[in-house]
Structure 1
Amino acid sequence: MVTPTAGPGKEQRILVLGAGVMGTGITTLALRHGVHVTLVDTSDAILTAARTRIAAELRMAQLLTGPAEADPGELTTVTSARTAIGTATAVIEAVVEDVTVKARVLAAVSAAAPPGTPIITNTSSIPVDELADAVARPEDLLGTHFMNPSYAIPMVEVIRGPRSGDAAMAAAADLLAVLGRKPVVVRDAPGFVTSRLLHPMINDAARVVQEGTASAEDVDALMTGCLGHPTGPLRTADLIGIDNLVDALWVLHKRIGDDRSLPCDLLLQKVRDGHHGRKTGRGFYHYEEVFR
């Protein structure tokens, strides 16, 4: 169901947990729309690197989508959410695609957040209700699946868990309206819609390369030239992050038992070799500019 666009409402101040690819991408999007962001990670070194990446992404966003329509938001980076949690209008968790890690982070932040603060887990595959037992108030929890790069993709998959409340859903709609993003609300399920369809296809494409039927370049050329895929599945894998892709495939395989979602050997080897895509400089392709 496509939700109606919500009004901008009160000034937004968001707390983003995790300064990886998705956390910095969401932060970039928010800053471009005048939203103040407190970005949290475990060390000053990680946060310094995140500031460098965000500055680069802000420049890239301007090249791709034009000048921002709002004065830029203010970015604060901290190693503890404690000082900012009381003033946040929403919390977006964007740590690794691991149930145990997400549950631990969500438990800590939800215990400190004022009641009624929407707690948003950004996930490509993990059902929201699997995480709901970890939070203080399950009615405040919902899911999003921002695509990468968040500042260039105008639609966001929004996941309403069985225990997600109306107030949290409305607050998330208000935030996405401020961010200029169109939400599509889907029911909670492993992989939701986009990952359930896309990730097994990428796995199949990698398996074709593994079996020697075609090169990565030729697979992507056929998918773009014959079937209209915008970038090709293997370039998409590099953009997602092959390590994140494999994590999501394991979630799908374990929860729905689909053998198409069992990560193929080539993907597993790339993860072992540290060839995770654009963020490491090498995946199915080589990249001169590395975005960590």
Structure 2
Amino acid sequence: MSMKTIMVIGAGQMGSGIAQVCAMAGFDVVLHDLTEEFVNRGITSIEKQLQRQVEKEKIQPHEKDQTLQCITPSISLSNAASADLVIEAAVEKMEVKTALFRELDQLVPEHTILATNTSSLPITEIAAATKRPEKVIGMHFMNPVPVMKLVEIIRGLSTTDEVFQQIEELTKTLKKVPVEVNDFPGFVSNRILMPMINEAIYTVYEGVAAPEAVDEVMRLGMNHPMGPLTLADFIGLDTCLFIMETLHEGFGDDKYRPCPLLRKYVKAGWLGKKTGKGFYTY
């Protein structure tokens, strides 16, 4: 089955990035969100990203125009009826995702693959909300999507080899690198990254060092492009907390217990760059 039309659900930072790379690869993309305002904000974000690439002479102006022409806005989920693949990049809540997949299952054609960009939730549980669990798979893109090469491909318990191979090939078509991982909480990326971030927060909480010092040690000593606390602010401290809670619940191991300081910052509304304050002020 050749894919022609891809619906991306969620026009936020991740969803608009996924829509952009799909459109740049020549697919017809339906970018869906709850309101016209959200969708238009996503398309504006894509336009700005493409314009930056034009200014850096990475793409030609006509390539920018072609990419934008491939994207159709949507605020009606019934538009999924034309999709060969749906990539969900909605809010990271199991009840939202299962409700969405249950509805999509009724709307899309029989051949359509349903993929989720979840960063930590179990694919098997999401797939169980549908009558096509064999056609449900995880595609965990990294942020920012147009720049980062990795896509974690996660099979659910029922995902077929054929579906996996189709998504693997699609990922390569998007000029990304697919890496197969199994369906465990946090997969590989967040199972390793988030405890590191959590431990960095503990070093601040326990008075071992200031945030600037922690980040400098990791940048200069471990050759990380940015320190873990800067990265946490960019990801969003609420997202970091959610993933740590998912790991803690999924494994039942205290090594995944979120640092009390992380909880305190989230309760205070200090969520990082998006709110102007986290471990740093923006």
Task: Give the TM-score taking structure 1 as reference length.
Answer: 0.87
Distance 1:239 1:60, change over 3 A: farther
- Is 1:42 the counterpart of 2:34 in the alignment? yes
Equivalent position of 1:106 in the other structure? 101
| 3-state secondary structure, aligned to 1:217 | helix
**One-letter amino acid of the structure 2 residue matched with residue 221 of structure 1:** E
Q: 41, 65, 72: which is aligned to 2:67?
A: 72
Distance 1:261 1:104, change over 3 A: same
Q: Unmatched 5+ residue regions in structure 2?
A: none
Distance 1:146 1:62, change over 3 A: farther
Partner Cα separation in structure 1 for residue 251 and residue 57 of structure 2: 38
**One-letter amino acid of the structure 1 residue matched with residue 181 of structure 2:** V
Equivalent position of 1:119 in the other structure? 114
Quick check: 205-214 or 180-189, which moved more? 205-214
Distance 1:60 1:200, change over 3 A: farther
Partner Cα separation in structure 2 for residue 262 and residue 72 of structure 1: 43
Alpha-carbon deviation of 1:43? 1.4
Distance 1:16 1:212, change over 3 A: same
| 3-state secondary structure, aligned to 2:115 | strand
Distance 1:21 1:157, change over 3 A: same
Equivalent position of 1:6 in the other structure? none
Task: Give the TM-score taking structure 2 as reference length.
Answer: 0.90
**One-letter amino acid of the structure 2 residue matched with residue 250 of structure 1:** E
Alpha-carbon deviation of 1:63? 6.6
Task: String of CA shifts for 1:166-211, please: whole Å, max 9, x gaps.
Answer: 2321221232122111101111111111111111110111121122
Alignment of 1:143-182 (within 5 A): 143-182=138-177
Equivalent position of 2:237 in the other structure? 242
Partner Cα separation in structure 2 for residue 126 and residue 235 of structure 1: 24
Equivalent position of 2:178 in the other structure? 183
Alpha-carbon deviation of 1:130? 1.5
Normalized per residue, which structure has more helix?
A: 2
**One-letter amino acid of the structure 2 residue matched with residue 41 of structure 1:** D
- Is 1:86 the counterpart of 2:81 in the alignment? yes
Q: Unmatched 5+ residue regions in structure 1?
A: 1-8, 288-292
Quick check: 105-114 or 11-20, which moved more? 11-20
The number of residue pairs the alignment matches comes to 278
| 3-state secondary structure, aligned to 1:279 | helix
Partner Cα separation in structure 2 for residue 118 and residue 11 of structure 1: 10
**One-letter amino acid of the structure 1 residue matched with residue 73 of structure 2:** T
Distance 1:22 1:64, change over 3 A: farther
Answer whether contact 2:154 2:181 (CA < 8 A) is retained.
yes
Q: Indicate the structure whose relative CO is greater, using CA pairs within 8 Å and at least 6 residues apart.
A: 1
Quick check: 225-234 or 268-277, which moved more? 268-277
Equivalent position of 1:55 in the other structure? 47
Alpha-carbon deviation of 1:218? 1.4
Partner Cα separation in structure 1 for residue 174 and residue 139 of structure 2: 13
Partner Cα separation in structure 2 for residue 192 and residue 169 of structure 1: 16
Distance 1:105 1:141, change over 3 A: same
Equivalent position of 1:252 in the other structure? 247
Alpha-carbon deviation of 1:89? 2.1
Partner Cα separation in structure 2 for residue 25 and residue 154 of structure 1: 12
Partner Cα separation in structure 2 for residue 224 and residue 93 of structure 1: 33
Equivalent position of 1:264 in the other structure? 259
| 3-state secondary structure, aligned to 1:27 | helix
Task: String of CA shifts for 1:99-118, please: whole Å, max 9, x gaps.
Answer: 11111111111221111211
Answer whether contact 2:113 2:163 (CA < 8 A) is retained.
yes
Task: String of CA shifts for 1:198-248, please: whole Å, max 9, x gaps.
Answer: 111101111211222222221111001001222111122122222222111
Distance 1:218 1:62, change over 3 A: farther
